[in-house]
Structure 1
Amino acid sequence: MSVTILPIRHHGPGSARAVLAELERLRPQVVLIEGPPDADGLLELAADPEMEPPVALLAYLPDQPRRASFWPFTAFSPEWQAIRWALDAGVPVRFCDLPAGAGLAREPSDDSPDSDPDSGNLQQDPLGMLAAAAGYDDPERWWDAVIETRDPAADSPFPAVIEAMAALREAMPPTDPWEHRREAQMRTVLRKAIKDGADPIAVVCGAWHAPALLPPYPTATADRQLLTGLAKRKATLTWVPWTHTRIAAASGYGAGITSPGWYHHLFTSADRPVVRWLTAVAATLRDQDLPVSSAHVIEATRLAETLAALRGRSLAGLAEVTEATRSVLCDGSDMLVDLVTTNLVVGEKLGSVPASAPTVPLEADLRAQARRLRLAIAATEKTITLDLRKPNDRERSRLLHRLLAIGVDWAVMADSQVRHTGTFAETWTLAWRPELAVAVIDAARWGTTVAAAAAALLVDAADKAETLTDVTDVVERALLSDLPEALDVVLSALDAKAAVDLDIAHLMAALPALARSLRYGDVRGTDTGALGAVADAIGIRLCAGLPAGIGSLDDAGAQQMSKRIDEVHDAIALRDQTDGRERWLDTLAGLIDRRDVHGLLIGRMVRLLLDSGRLPVGDAARRLDAALSIGTTATGKAAWIQGFLAGGGLLLLNDPELLGILDDWVSTLDADDFVAVLPLLRRTFGTLPSGERSNLADKLRKRTSVRAESETDDIDAERAAGAIATVAFLMGVAE
């Protein structure tokens, strides 16, 4: 009986090549691989031509889809290459770690952290200790130098790795109960393979576990005792696409590597990898319109190889090619080096899985619609602009909005369009992330199609909404998603909530979203007729409740109420209904003479009535003059002005009377009042566009000059003669 342990580092191209060489030499009768055995039935899919790494095994609990685990594989993962070798050779291949259901049954506080011992992320880092012993300050560079960029013709590295790991385990014995159970499970599966008569046997596992799988083994009874009482849950497993970005350590992945793009290059470009890499770097820089020639590539290659020779390395590694890139191709620019790191060293590659892989009906519907609408599912960001007048673009928009409704944010709208403005264009940024596979599975409980799931989820959200604003948001999402089957139910919930909600703030917050939907619903061809009655009812309740909700507010409350009044005013203008507009203006007109209303709100309502043509300019000037008269504090006057000028100062530019009233008031302030109102005035005029402020300053400057001239030149000489003579006599200068 012959058992060969092949200790590897997850996602290492040197390890992958060494594993393939050993498998070819050993020709084992069975291959055991570290991984969840409940995924054994999925291994055959790895040979499907449509399966292209990076991919990952996904395990989740059917009743809690958000509770999930992933086992990622890349083309350069040793485990992936072992699986492919076994399938191609017709050799049985099985996973030998604990079942996925056992890991998903663990609570976050159970046993120990989730870090993989082979990732180098233990509190005591075994790879870091080996790297330090070899004189390296970076474990990644040490592993890259010793294993990943080693000479392919050299002897197998596995015996030396096992010896090093055994010494480390003696120096710092593993104490994690979970790791002991994992190794007990691996030995149990290995014993069964031996008992079944397989010979030879190859075991591909993380380097840290290798010494635990060498004889002499603990007794089978001892291993069974370790596994007794292990909690398990029924898990569902499938294959999902993965990306190089999620393989990178920067993503937070415990067994991540810093340079998946570089490792992929090393594995796929065995012939002259340094030259090919630097050629790819040059192409990336040329895409940025940078002058990089073949001579640069030749010089950078020579520099990288020289640095490797000086450091005693058989091949230039990532450190050497990066230094050569910085010096020769990037002229010392760290910004360009970062560009190369993002595009090449890490890279962005999205794998694919065959259609025969187990999946939920919702995902199948999503992918079918994406194909039909020609929306490519890719990891790289892509910005598209949809013209809602075109049927295909309109259908794309509906799909993307429905996905947002079920929590699958494959695409997000531009910030400026989160609240749609009624144009015929929508701008979206698409980027598929691996974790969205879990979001799709989680949403699958709501329906088997995207439309059905979105409709069911929106109906549920409306039913559970606590405020009127929450229901209004659901209505807006249902309209954007074009889900008439959900809209009727959601509108009923909105009407019921609005009928019993007496909070004026809730009514004011709800109306703008409804008005937008009513005004712009026809852009998408959506029937919004039923929404009008609800919006009108809210408008009537709002006008009836505003007088009671506007009195006796403090400064902060007045600021918030002023913003809501503006939003409602704009919403009613969007509705473009005479009855509703007149009702609203009548309400405002009935409030501007009240003395218990904050000056900021009075000034704002006067301005809105003036702009709407309900209040004559002369009346507005009279009210401004009265607001600045004796009997009101200086800060109260400044608040009135702030409300009156909110939204623009063109009114002052075009009405000398209003500007004169304001100028005269400021000119008569004493020192204490001026200091008190200055912050408010600065805040008021600071919100005006710079052009308006400059024009106002010019007008005030000219007005001051005219006033000064009138004060000195407009003198009645005949009436002043007597006074002048008296003063002259008193001063002794009389003739």
Structure 2
Amino acid sequence: MNPFDPLREQLASAAAAFGAGLVDDVEQALKTDVEIFPVCHHSPASALAMVRRLREKRPKVIYLELCEDLRPVLEELRNCRLPVALQAFASDIDGFPAEWAPLSVIAPITESSAEYQAIAYALDTPGVEIVLVDRSVDHVFQWEPRAGAPADVGIEIGDLRPGFAALEEHLLHHGKVRHWSEWWDQYVEQPLSGADHDTYRQVMVLIGSLFRRLKPEGNEVDEDRERYMWTRMREHLATTGTDPAECLYVCGAFHAASPVMGEHLDISPRTSTTWLYGLIPSSHSAIEEQFGLAPGSVSIAAATWRKAVKRTGLTPYTLGGKATRTATRTGPPPSTPGVTEDRLSGFLTQPPSLDGFDEAELLGWCVEIVRLARRNGYLASTADAIAVFETSILLAGMRGRKRPTPYDFQDAAVTCIEKDAVPGRRDVRRLCEILLGGDKIGQVGYDSLPPLARDVLDRLRPLGLDLEKRTIQRALIDLDAHPELESCSHLLWILRRLLPGDAVRPIMGSRRLGERSHQESWDLAIARNQRSIIELGYEGVTIEQVLEQRLRRACWDEKATAATALDAVEDSILYLGSRRCTDELGVRAVELLAGERTVDEAPDVVRRIRRLLAHYRAAEPELPAWVKSFVTTGYAHYCTLLPTAFVEQETSVRQVGAMLAFLFTMEGLALSLGCDRAQLELAVQQSHPESPAKVALLWTARFQLGLLSMAELREKVGELLGNPLVVPSVPQYISGFVQALESAPALAPFVVEVLSRAFGQLPDDVLLPWLPKLITTLRDQAPELVPMLVREAGRTFPARLADVDSFTPPWLARATGKAVALPSSGPVGRLLAVHPETGAAVAEVLGCEAAVTIAGASGEVAELLASHPETGEAVAGVLIAVN
């Protein structure tokens, strides 16, 4: 006896039991009193078999594997252009983790799907009822694991794909195909497209049983779903008294091979979450991406469906308007559920009878792909069309096919036409998808839109555009000539704030505080972004309500900052015009600022509060209470955090500069509201930074407080430039001085002086190595302040080339004692003669030394007047006129 005989017998017995189990599943599915119709989603073969069976059996009740609470939405399919998706949406959830919000369930529907044929038949045939029996959308999320559950769930009827990766890899390898969609098309779709009903049912259940038994994970959730559906069907049969023989149960082939048929499930109650239901546009590419299908597979399925309908002469069921259709028997009497004869043996042992080679169709594809390629920049010719034709036939033969499939044609086109580069936006593979049907995009009709979406279309109607077209349309609005279009403009700006960037795009015009557009131009793609507008309708009744809710949600989010709240305040002023809402958001901004323990958002806070202050000062007689509170709170808050921010490495020089900008530029307002300047002086004196940029910032802060004179500041800079050990850090010091311009714009001449002295004093071997570092530092840390330096340099240095040789910079004129003539007549001369001390004080405030002699021909006042003669004349004239 061979020692391996027992093992051989054991394995043979296991294989026999496995094969017998598959046959048992098929036999069990055929014995049920309610006829099971197994389907695969977006399968033309399933759709064709469904049409034939509906016309033969004429069922009175159709049970459909789809979330039971989506049933009212089915009626709205009449107003849509497929593909669309049924959607359930919940933003305010109760009974689920808060981080899951918002929750969404999407079930796409295409014309070439069996479930759409069943829906159309049921809705348009008098006396026929359709019952959705799958879990409610609430139960879908109840059954999700609490850790890491998805917030957006796609429901696909008849999701049929092997869960065993090794099996799929084996099938693809031996089938000589690239992906699952191509394998399914060749070995299931095409052979079953003309099969009779019994053969179709047995093959689909067999495939579902095989995939079910080879699934590596447990089937507990799937079995509970199946118990749920059978429970709902039994409840409906018991309530209505319907004869099971007159019913049809449409489900995925995976569920048709279930071992728990007829078992009962105790269904838990739904949570208190409020669900909103509707339709959203879908597309072939969206369905492919959502369910992991190969690109172009749904478009190819749609093309196959159209060709099969034309070839077979079947009339598919469609929904349109409110017309009804009576069911007529076009074939033999329906077969009763039960065990039929074996059709699997013949199907599995004999080669399928596929369609013959359609040479005209392939020739048309080849000519059309060359035309599309030329239009998209490829140098394609008639020779390429011939090459694609022959290569398609060659590939089909290598893969054991009698005729080239769209996948063979696609591979041949890529091989023969696409070279080493793609000249345009679309590659050849994408062009093939367009040729074979394209990425068809559905649309929801006006009557099926939620109230918000209809309100948007109604309010934009005065523009005179057909916003249901998918083309981009240009809207021209002259607000001076047509003030009645102001409401349209306002709505467009709100849509711009809420929708994706390409939905509503302004070409001319702007919406900012203190501005008003006289003319506007818009590019509108409303229909292309219909889904986004529909989903806004799940959040509120009007677009303004949605915006207000989002602003409040952003401000009260756990990650909200003071900058976030100030941004919401600005949007409230621009788009809502509600003082109540604006004040509430402003109060929230004060609370967030007081609670912050870092200064990460300081630059944004300074920029936004400055803008809001300018708006209120120009538009209202008095600042709102929350603005005053924000200034006083911010003054105390930043004074408290300033010493720590100066020494923390995590706090950048830009953030410290923004803090100083807030403290110094709003100091006057803060002091008038009761703040104490001693708090700022104490905070600066307690600051002891180590990084060069922050040291420079501290020097400028001390100068602004009067704790450091301009002469001492110049002396410190001179020490920096004269110390070889410190020279490599000079760019960082300069970055700090530049950041100080945010709080002290009058220091611009001093910063220009520092840069000029560095370029003039340092030797090339020192200057050239840190010059790139200086440029990158200024670009990264102070890009918006560099233009201020450029303008100041333009005022300081001569504008003409001829004046360069005789030019002496002001700081060199002071150092060498070179005389600068003071005006002896005119307003400036008279003013200086009468008030010499005032002139010295003004010079010091503007960055010059206080110790000057007005009677002499040199000094800081002379330097200041020489640099800015027009300003001096203007100021002097004003002062004399006042006196």
Asked if these proteins are the same fold (TM beyond 0.5), I'd say: yes
Gaps of 5+ in 2: 1-31, 94-100, 311-359, 780-785, 806-883
Report matched runs for 1:718-733 at 5 Å.
Answer: none
- Residue 611 of structure 2 corresponds to residue 516 of structure 1: yes
What's the offset of the Cα at 1:656? 10
CA offset digits 1:274-304 (Å, max 9, x no partner): 5665566456534434455677556534543
Counterpart amino acid of residue 144 in structure 2: E
What's the offset of the Cα at 1:143? 0.4
- Residue 275 of structure 2 corresponds to residue 212 of structure 1: no
The residue number in structure 2 matching 1:684 is 774
Specify the SS of the correspondent of 1:16.
helix
Match of 2:63 among 8, 23, 32: 32
The separation in 2 between residues aligned to 1:688 and 1:111, in whole angstroms, is 44
What's the offset of the Cα at 1:433? 6.6
CA offset digits 1:518-538 (Å, max 9, x no partner): 66899xxx9677668866775
- Residue 281 of structure 2 corresponds to residue 242 of structure 1: yes
Structure 1 483/686 Cα, relative in aligned 2: closer, same or farther at 3 Å?
A: same
- Residue 222 of structure 2 corresponds to residue 179 of structure 1: yes
What's the offset of the Cα at 1:10? 0.8
CA contact (8 A) 2:512 2:574 kept: no
The separation in 2 between residues aligned to 1:304 and 1:494, in whole angstroms, is 66
Report matched runs for 1:432-511 at 5 Å.
Answer: 436=532, 439-440=535-536, 443-444=539-540, 448-459=541-552, 462=555, 467-490=561-584, 493=587, 497=591, 505=599, 509-511=604-606
What's the offset of the Cα at 1:79? 0.9
Match of 1:163 among 206, 209, 215: 206
Specify the SS of the correspondent of 2:41.
coil
CA contact (8 A) 2:47 2:117 kept: yes
The separation in 1 between residues aligned to 2:623 and 2:474, in whole angstroms, is 30
Counterpart amino acid of residue 41 in structure 2: H
The separation in 2 between residues aligned to 1:112 and 1:609, in whole angstroms, is 55
What's the offset of the Cα at 1:319? 2.1
CA offset digits 1:471-512 (Å, max 9, x no partner): 212212213324324554236516854996798957764231
The separation in 2 between residues aligned to 1:124 and 1:200, in whole angstroms, is 39
The separation in 2 between residues aligned to 1:605 and 1:418, in whole angstroms, is 39
The separation in 2 between residues aligned to 1:386 and 1:622, in whole angstroms, is 61
CA contact (8 A) 1:10 1:77 kept: yes
Structure 1 680/652 Cα, relative in aligned 2: closer, same or farther at 3 Å?
A: farther
The separation in 1 between residues aligned to 2:778 and 2:161, in whole angstroms, is 57
The separation in 2 between residues aligned to 1:636 and 1:365, in whole angstroms, is 61
- Residue 298 of structure 2 corresponds to residue 260 of structure 1: yes
Counterpart amino acid of residue 205 in structure 2: I
- Residue 415 of structure 2 corresponds to residue 327 of structure 1: yes
Specify the SS of the correspondent of 1:240.
strand
Match of 2:49 among 18, 24, 28: 18
Specify the SS of the correspondent of 1:71.
strand
- Residue 125 of structure 2 corresponds to residue 94 of structure 1: no
What's the offset of the Cα at 1:450? 1.6
What's the offset of the Cα at 1:144? 1.2
CA contact (8 A) 2:413 2:428 kept: yes
CA contact (8 A) 1:33 1:205 kept: yes
What's the offset of the Cα at 1:53? 1.5
Report matched runs for 1:334-733 at 5 Å.
Answer: 336-337=427-428, 339-340=430-431, 348-357=439-448, 361-369=451-459, 398-399=490-491, 402=494, 436=532, 439-440=535-536, 443-444=539-540, 448-459=541-552, 462=555, 467-490=561-584, 493=587, 497=591, 505=599, 509-517=604-612, 550-551=642-643, 553-554=646-647, 556=649, 557=651, 559-564=653-658, 596=688, 600-601=693-694, 603=696, 624-625=717-718, 627-628=720-721, 639-644=732-737, 658=754, 661-663=757-759, 666-667=762-763, 682-687=772-777
What's the offset of the Cα at 1:382? 6.5
The residue number in structure 2 matching 1:304 is 392
Query: 6-15 or 538-547: which moved more?
Result: 538-547
What's the offset of the Cα at 1:267? 2.3
Structure 1 379/240 Cα, relative in aligned 2: closer, same or farther at 3 Å?
A: farther
Structure 1 551/63 Cα, relative in aligned 2: closer, same or farther at 3 Å?
A: closer
- Residue 85 of structure 2 corresponds to residue 56 of structure 1: yes
Specify the SS of the correspondent of 1:481.
helix
The separation in 2 between residues aligned to 1:402 and 1:619, in whole angstroms, is 54
Specify the SS of the correspondent of 1:59.
strand
The separation in 2 between residues aligned to 1:632 and 1:310, in whole angstroms, is 75
Report matched runs for 1:101-116 at 5 Å.
Answer: 101-109=138-146
Gaps of 5+ in 1: 704-735
What's the offset of the Cα at 1:73? 0.9
What's the offset of the Cα at 1:373? 6.0
CA offset digits 1:108-153 (Å, max 9, x no partner): 2599998978342635687667666756563322101134445855
CA offset digits 1:585-633 (Å, max 9, x no partner): xx999999999567535646889999xxxx9999976663255467996
Provide the TM-score with structure 1 as the length reference.
Answer: 0.68
The separation in 1 between residues aligned to 2:204 and 2:501, in whole angstroms, is 44
CA offset digits 1:392-429 (Å, max 9, x no partner): 99756644664687798885989xx9997979689999
CA contact (8 A) 1:478 1:486 kept: no
CA offset digits 1:211-234 (Å, max 9, x no partner): 339xxx85x5xx12xx12545447
Counterpart amino acid of residue 283 in structure 2: H
The separation in 1 between residues aligned to 2:754 and 2:737, in whole angstroms, is 11
Specify the SS of the correspondent of 1:75.
coil
Counterpart amino acid of residue 43 in structure 2: G
Specify the SS of the correspondent of 2:427.
helix
Match of 1:68 among 71, 92, 104: 104
CA contact (8 A) 2:285 2:439 kept: no
What's the offset of the Cα at 1:678? 9.8
The separation in 2 between residues aligned to 1:687 and 1:299, in whole angstroms, is 58
Match of 1:80 among 113, 116, 122: 116
Counterpart amino acid of residue 514 in structure 1: I
Structure 1 593/80 Cα, relative in aligned 2: closer, same or farther at 3 Å?
A: same
Structure 1 69/536 Cα, relative in aligned 2: closer, same or farther at 3 Å?
A: closer
Identical counterparts, % of pairs: 19
The separation in 2 between residues aligned to 1:682 and 1:482, in whole angstroms, is 48
What's the offset of the Cα at 1:660? 6.4
Specify the SS of the correspondent of 2:106.
strand
The residue number in structure 2 matching 1:145 is 186
The separation in 2 between residues aligned to 1:16 and 1:679, in whole angstroms, is 73
Structure 1 368/22 Cα, relative in aligned 2: closer, same or farther at 3 Å?
A: same
Query: 21-30 or 529-538: which moved more?
Result: 529-538
What's the offset of the Cα at 1:326? 0.8
Query: 259-268 or 90-99: which moved more?
Result: 90-99
Specify the SS of the correspondent of 1:96.
strand
The residue number in structure 2 matching 1:732 is none
Structure 1 151/641 Cα, relative in aligned 2: closer, same or farther at 3 Å?
A: same
CA contact (8 A) 2:453 2:534 kept: no
CA contact (8 A) 1:401 1:480 kept: no
Specify the SS of the correspondent of 1:316.
coil
